[in-house]
Chain A
Amino acid sequence: MMVSLAIWLPILAGFLLLGFGRSLGSLAKSAASILMLGVLGVSVGLLAKFDSAAKGFQFSEKVDWIRSLGTSYSLGLDGISIWMFVLTAFLGLVAVLVSKPKERAGQFFGQILVLSGVLLGVFAALDLVLFYIFFELSLVPVAMLILGWGRGDRKRAATRYLAMLFGGSLLMLLAIIAVGVQYSAVTRTASMSIVDIQSVVASGKLWAGKEQLENLAFWGFLLAFLIKSPAVPGHSWLASTYESAPVGATIAGVVLKVGTYGLFRFCLPLFPHAAAANASFVTFLGVLGILYGGILAINQKNIFRVMVFSTISHVGFILIGLFSFSHVGMVGAAFQQFNHGLASAAVFVLLSFLMERGFTGEFSELGGLKRTMPVFASLFMIAMLANLGLPLTSGFVGEILAMMGSFESGYANVLGLNVGYAVAAGAGAILSASYMLYAYQRMFYGEAKSGESKDLNLNEMLIGGVFAAAIMVGGILPTFILQRMDQSVAVTGSAVKPNSGTTWAEGGGEIDASRIYAASSQGEFK
């Protein structure tokens, strides 16, 4: 019930604000922040009760919905999704706190609340149809926020955002249908619950003799999630979104890695053969993204575009870790997915403070801020260090573990992976230092360009400080997070092994977290 509460409370309140927000005036922001604080409280409560040793989903809720389709209202969290769930609630609250819309504040905060609630649904849904609905619905508020409160060519940005992401998810819809049809053909029952479907996958029956179909369905999901993540070359929506969306919308809805989460939740456990067969290709895309993003980020003319390519680079690390199928690599990917939300939200929060002071983020108008805004400069430094993966910040742990997984699997030469991928990916650290420091130089060093800008006020310091603290704690005590991910990642990793018998159902097969994908099985895909 608590999961449902966290999802529907902001959605309902959001609709109320959309409808009656005008009469609330400036109270809208207070109301929205109190509500999101409550949602965050609920999600932290769930985290506190989370059992890190359990193999399956926790806090499960299941109500039959459309019986003929086998669709159910089915929710639950595991060690991968609980962190995204908490992060979503946190970023929703932050987005409300840092936003100061100049007009129609009630509607603005309404959209943010709906967005947060729907995204919480995305991370908790355990039914393919339910997931699809949440996934699609999450696009609408972002587009509305861009259209209503954005900057620059907002119509073009909103159109592109919707067109690319809807286009991608259409492929996923087809794949969902294929999975549903195949499930009912094999079991003679209907279910869209991924727990049910995966248990048939694990027994090896679902895709027996249907490798072609498995592969096609896998690609349907894969393409949707790669665009959403985004991976090269599906990233053009991200650039226009970062540049045009109000920063609050970016924090609440865009920095969260729904795409890579989808890979974790669906692509690997439901299509193990296809995932293994395409591991080398996806890893290649990941490395390509790391290098492509890193190189392009160096010479951008504004900080938002630097963040676009930095995101692509980070996503690359998630992909190589995840598709290494090595336990450390997959844990690294799960951690990096969490860290990316945190560290890039930190940058956007700080940028929102800058925009309050009349800057647009163009480097040509920035410079010398270290003198006029020393506190801001220090906080930005910490956020930057997390983005370039310095040890003892949260950015390091995910990156090094993902690299390690990729290196191990490449070294063992499984699944067509090669150690060359890891070697190339390692160059990402040089590139991230280059683009981050270059951006920092242009913003903070030299003579101040535009007179005196006021340093952060107490509220802003508090919000920035919370992010800085979270980044440091995530880097110094990552075990707190890793411990709660470990078992769930191990289940996912075992499930990828064909006919593993590993399922999400409690008490399922023995969990095998062997460091590297069993070398003996590589023959199957050659």
Chain B
Amino acid sequence: MGLLAVLPIAIAFVIGAMITKSLDPSQAVVLSSIPWIEVKGLSVPFELRIDTLSMTMVLIITGIGALIHLYATGYMSEEKDYSRFFAYLNLFIAAMLVLVLGNNLLMLFIGWEGVGLCSYLLIGFWYEDITNAKAANKAFIVNRIGDWGLTLGLLLIATLIATSPAVQGETRLFSYDVIFAYLPKILVMNPGVATAAALLLFVGACGKSAQFPLYLWLPDAMAGPTPVSALIHAATMVTSGVVLMNRMSLVFESSAVASAVVCAVGAFTALFAAIIAFGQTDIKKVLAYSTVSQLGLMFVACGAGAYWVGIFHVTTHAFFKALLFLGSGAVIHAMAHEQDMRNYGKLAKYLPITFGTMMIGYLSISGIPFFSGFYSKEEVLGSALAGDFATVGAFEVGKLSGWICLVVPALTAMYMTRMMWLTFFGGVEQWRKIEPNHVDDHDHHHLDAEHKPHEVPFSMYFPLIVLAVLSAAGGWYLSQGGRFEHWLLASQVGPKIAPPTHPEGIPLMALSVGAAVLGILAGVAVYIKGLPAKEGWDESKWSKFRLRARDQFGYDRLMVNSVTVDSASLSTSVNTGFDHAVIEGMGEGAGNVTSWLGGIFNSVQTGLVRMYASIMLIGVVVLLLWVVVSAGGGR
């Protein structure tokens, strides 16, 4: 059963690898199939684009996907709805592949909505808990806000091409090759429209990639099973926004304002989410905010014009964040589904493989030299600090974002240290206090009599080891001789020159390594003895700042209240105040008038037939009048 789910993904990975190997980076291949939407003036075929960008994403999706599927066969082995889970998960992989492989914006949109649907289904996988349903709804609806922007953006692009006098007889208005051929010139002539198009696409990217102000669905999405969090809500789906900005880089390139907005939003999100992570006690929530924060870094790179760096960080992030999530899944598995880190402690000796691999992921995300995260983070910071791409007037938004992002790695290193120490080290084995009633419904493995946690089975630790190897060495391998840069730039439209990633006069390496080490040291200093009293169960002892951070500084509550409560009350008040009173009144009035008319013919029995007859009578009278008039006048 499990093999049936894993094998197709693994085969897809092998095929993807073979295609990648034989691909000429300078040559994009377009495979066209049957038409999807075809009317006069518009044709949208099912078509695929094989180039370095799409194949990079294919390898990430199928490679990481196959590992996570394998892990899930172990993780979900006692789940009664095993087959439903894998059906959704495989559907997700298919939709994600359509998103990255499609050769037109509407196919991208198929994938875009498809992954959103799968995400919705998997967040609400344990459907008997109504809070899961609410988290699933929130994810879908907040994403739809982003889709609003994306839809308008792609319609604007198609309209620009359709109405351009330079374009004659072209009907494939959404296809990338057509867009690449015509759009740059059109945008140069309409800078205002270019900014509008870029910002609309960016709204879409913000929704899917969980950027401020639309990030708030992602932390709730952790309600889904942990493999889902690793695959969809860390490694693949949430990076769609970065893929979109890479695909449509020509639109963003043509607007400094939009690029500055991308940078600013990315930097703010990175910082904001990193701070919130300090207030979380649920291990998956820490990782969720960390994902939001890392996505912010990717956005900064794209805003700075270094689109390939965005994908580079997508790649290394896929390695170490999938690893960390799967590792956290192993911990949760061993802890009888307890997710609160305050209940962990000293697990390193019980879960040696999980501990060892997660340690690598931790060093990688913290940006310790020669681990994967180090290389991509370095490029992100460098591209923001070195370029002047996102500069509007005198405001060097790109550089400012770069400086903000230099703070983020220090914070990241620190909250990750907190997570690792609370889980694996510390003085007390807090989990010995976990009571049986913590165990919820869909759990079948309990802590046994001696309360001894078990290391996970092979199917679960094998993916951890592979991902640990990638997190350790993947970044180094890909950055050798600018391998990844040259590979990805081949897919970019226009001149294949990326902005510089090494600022002059700034000791970038020293600063970023310094930030990481500082963060780790600070973390160790605070958490070396395990859970400090002022972060413990007694929340009255928490510092005000940490309480506010846990609460997302009130943002989520504000938004959810204003949107759900206000829209509900708007809906209700319009419903009762206007629709019932005025509209229904009109209907009632019409009914009354006809009933009154019908009253003239008392002899007929029911009111309805009376009314019917009266109206028919009026009709006949009018018809007769007309016969008289037209006979007199017409002939």
The reply on A457 being an interface residue by CB < 8 A is: no
For residues 109 through 145 of chain B, which have their beta carbon under 8 Å from a beta carbon of chain A?
109-110, 113-114, 117, 120, 124, 127-130, 132-134, 136-137, 140-141, 144-145
Q: Is B575's CB under 8 angstroms from A296's CB?
A: yes
User: With a CB–CB cut-off of 8 A, which chain B residues contact A155?
Assistant: 607-608
Interchain nearest-CB distance for B420 vs A (Å)? 36
Instruction: Answer whether A236 and B586 are a contact pair too, CB < 8 Å, given A371-B128, A390-B117.
Output: yes
- Encode B364-391 as 1/0 by CB contact (under 8 A) with A: 0000000000000000000000000000
Q: Is the CB of B37 within 8 A of A327?
A: no
A181 near B587 with CB under 8 A, answer: no
B567 on interface, CB distance cutoff 8 Å? yes
A391→B110 contact, CB < 8 A: yes
Interface string of B544-584 (1 = CB under 8 A from A): 00000000000000000000000110111011000100111
Expressed in whole angstroms, the Cα–Cα distance for A170 and B583 within the complex equals 20
B38 at the interface (CB under 8 A from A): yes
When the two chains form their complex, are residues A170 and B35 in contact, meaning their CB atoms are under 8 A apart?
no
Q: Does B40 touch A at the CB level, under 8 Å?
A: yes
Known A-B contacts A177-B626, A295-B574, A437-B140; the reply to A411 vs B633 at CB < 8 A is no
Query: In the docked arrangement, what's the CA distance between A233 and B42, Å?
Result: 34
| Known contacts A299-B575, A328-B41; is-contact A166 B586 (Cβ 8 Å) | no
- Is the contact region of chain B dominated by helix, strand, or loop, or is it mixed? helix
How distant is the Cα of A155 from the Cα of B618 in the complex, in angstroms?
A: 22
Question: Is the pair A162, B612 in contact by a Cβ cutoff of 8 Å?
Answer: yes
A433 within 8 A of B: yes
Interface stretch, picked from B273-281, B348-356, B509-517, B591-599, is: B591-599
Alpha-carbon distance between A485 and B574 when the two chains are bound, in angstroms? 38
State whether B39 touches A140 (Cβ < 8 A).
no
Q: A163-B590, A299-B572, A391-B113 are in contact. Are A447 and B128 (CB under 8 A)?
A: yes
Interface string of B132-173 (1 = CB under 8 A from A): 111011001100110110011001101100110000000000
In the complex, which residues 399-415 of chain A have their Cβ closer than 8 Å to any Cβ of chain B? 400-401, 403-404, 407-408, 411-412
**Chain A window 386-428, contacts with chain B (Cβ cutoff 8 Å), 1 for yes, 0 for no:** 0000111000010011011001100110000000001100110
Q: Which of B315-339 contact A (CB under 8 A)?
A: none
With A295-B571, A328-B42, A390-B117 as given contacts, are A444 and B127 in contact (CB-CB < 8 Å)? yes
Give Cα distance in the complex from A143 to B607, angstroms: 12
Q: A166-B594, A433-B144, A437-B140 are in contact. Are A331 and B626 (CB under 8 A)?
A: no
Smallest CB gap from B631: residue in A? A68
Whether A159 pairs with B630 at a CB distance below 8 angstroms is no
Contact with B along A358-389 (1 / 0, CB 8 A): 00000000001011000000000000010000
Q: Is there a chain A Cβ closer than 8 Å to B106's Cβ?
A: yes
Residue in chain A with minimal CB distance to B582: A233
A426 touches B148 (CB 8 A): yes
- Find out whether the CB atom of B148 lies under 8 angstroms from the CB atom of A159: no
CA–CA, A350 to B574, complex, Å? 29
**What distance in Å separates the Cβ of B617 from its nearest Cβ neighbour in chain A?**
11
Q: Could you say which interface size class chain A belongs to?
A: 35 or more
User: How near does chain A come to B579, taking the closest CB pair, in angstroms?
Assistant: 6
Question: Which of A10-18, A29-37, A210-218, A510-518 faces chain B?
Answer: A510-518
Contact indicator B40/A298 (Cβ below 8 Å): no
Contact between B141 and A434, CB atoms less than 8 A apart: yes
Question: Which secondary structure characterizes the binding site on chain A?
Answer: helix
Q: Which residues of the partner chain A approach B124 to less than 8 Å between Cβ atoms?
A: 445
Min Cβ gap B216→A in Å is 15
Contact segment of A89-97, A182-190, A273-281, A465-473: A182-190
- Let me know if B619 is at the binding interface, CB within 8 A: yes
- Please tell me if the beta carbons of B128 and A479 are within 8 angstroms of each other in the complex: no
Q: Please give, as numbers and ranges, the residues of chain A lying within 8 Å of B633 by CB-CB distance.
A: 181, 184-185
A490 x B583 contact (CB < 8 A)? no
Inter-chain contact B627/A69, CB cutoff 8 Å: yes
Q: Are the C-beta atoms of B612 and A140 separated by less than 8 Å?
A: yes
Quick check: A181 and B586 within 8 Å, CB to CB?
no
The answer to whether B155 touches A159, judged by C-beta atoms less than 8 angstroms apart, is: no
List the A side residues contacting B574 at CB < 8 Å. Answer: 292, 295-296
User: How many residue pairs bridge A and B at CB < 8 Å?
Assistant: 225
Considering the chains assembled together, what is the distance between the CA atoms of A143 and B635 in angstroms?
A: 40
Is the C-beta of B189 less than 8 angstroms from some C-beta in chain A? Answer: no
**Distance in Å: Cβ of B98 to nearest Cβ of chain A:** 9
| Interface pair B591/A159, CB less than 8 Å apart | yes
Q: Distance in Å from the Cβ of A82 to the closest Cβ of chain B?
A: 16
Of B110, B130, B148, the residue contacting A430 (CB under 8 A) is B148
Interface: B533 (CB within 8 A): no
| The one of A188, A190, A296, A371 that contacts B571, using a Cβ cutoff of 8 Å | A296
Inter-subunit contact A411/B163 (CB<8 Å)? yes
Residues of B within 8 A of A166 (CB): 594, 612, 615
Task: Check if A156 is an interface residue, CB within 8 A of chain B.
Answer: yes
In whole Å, how far is B112's beta carbon from the nearest beta carbon of chain A? 8
* Max chain A Cβ within 10 angstroms of own Cβ: one of B127, B163, B629: B127
Once A408-B162, A412-B163, A434-B141 are accepted as A-B contacts, the answer to whether A190 and B630 lie under 8 Å apart by CB is: yes
Q: How far is the CB of B185 from chain A (nearest CB, A)?
A: 18
User: Which residues from 442 to 498 on chain A have a C-beta closer than 8 Å to any C-beta of chain B?
Assistant: 444-447, 476-479, 482-483, 485-486, 489-490
User: Nearest-CB distance from B403 to chain A (Å)?
Assistant: 36
A482 to chain B, nearest CB (A): 5
Contact A446–B130 (Cβ < 8 Å): yes
Q: From residue 215 to 234 of chain A, which have CB atoms closer than 8 A to chain B? A: 232-234
How far is A426 from B155 in the complex, measured between Cα atoms in Å?
A: 11
What separation, in Å, do the CA atoms of A423 and B572 have in the docked complex?
25
List, in ascending order, chain B residues with CB within 8 A of A173's CB.
619, 622-623
Contact at A397–B594, with CB atoms within 8 Å? Answer: no
- On whether the beta carbons of A177 and B141 are closer than 8 Å, the reply is no
Q: Chain B 26-57, CB within 8 Å of chain A: the 1/0 string?
A: 00000000111111111000000000000000
Q: Which of A140-154 contact B (CB under 8 A)?
A: 140, 143, 147
Is A237 part of the contact surface with B, judged by Cβ < 8 Å? yes
| CB <8 Å contact, B594 and A159 | yes
Provide the bound-state CA to CA distance between A143 and B619, in Å: 18
Q: Kindly identify which residue among A68, A233, A477 contacts B627, using a CB–CB cutoff of 8 Å.
A: A68
Please give, as numbers and ranges, the residues of chain A lying within 8 Å of B109 by CB-CB distance.
391
- Please give, as numbers and ranges, the residues of chain B lying within 8 Å of A513 by CB-CB distance: 40-41
Known interface pairs A173-B619, A180-B630, A446-B133. Does A483 touch B38 (Cβ–Cβ under 8 Å)? yes
Query: Taking the nearest CB of chain B, how far is it from the CB of A414, in angstroms?
Result: 11
Residue of B nearest to A432 (CB): B144
Q: Is A54 part of the contact surface with B, judged by Cβ < 8 Å?
A: no
Task: Give the A-binding residues of B (Cβ under 8 A).
Answer: 34-42, 106, 109-110, 113-114, 117, 120, 124, 127-130, 132-134, 136-137, 140-141, 144-145, 147-148, 151-152, 155-156, 158-159, 162-163, 567-568, 570-572, 574-575, 579, 582-584, 586-588, 590-591, 593-595, 607-608, 611-612, 615, 618-619, 622-623, 626-627, 629-631, 633-635
In order of increasing CB-CB distance, the 3 nearest A-B pairs are A236-B587, A184-B634, A445-B133
Can you give 11 contacting A-B residue pairs, CB < 8 Å?
A: A68-B635, A163-B590, A170-B622, A173-B622, A296-B574, A300-B575, A328-B41, A385-B117, A401-B42, A430-B141, A441-B134
> What residues make up the interface of A, taking CB atoms closer than 8 Å to B?
68-69, 136, 140, 143, 147, 155-156, 158-160, 162-164, 166-167, 170, 173-174, 177, 180-181, 184-185, 188, 190, 232-237, 239-240, 292, 295-300, 327-328, 331, 368, 370-371, 385, 390-392, 397, 400-401, 403-404, 407-408, 411-412, 422-423, 426-427, 429-430, 433-434, 437-438, 441, 444-447, 476-479, 482-483, 485-486, 489-490, 513-516
| 4 extra interface residue pairs, beta carbon distance < 8 Å, beyond A185-B633, A328-B41, A445-B130 | A143-B612, A390-B113, A446-B127, A446-B128
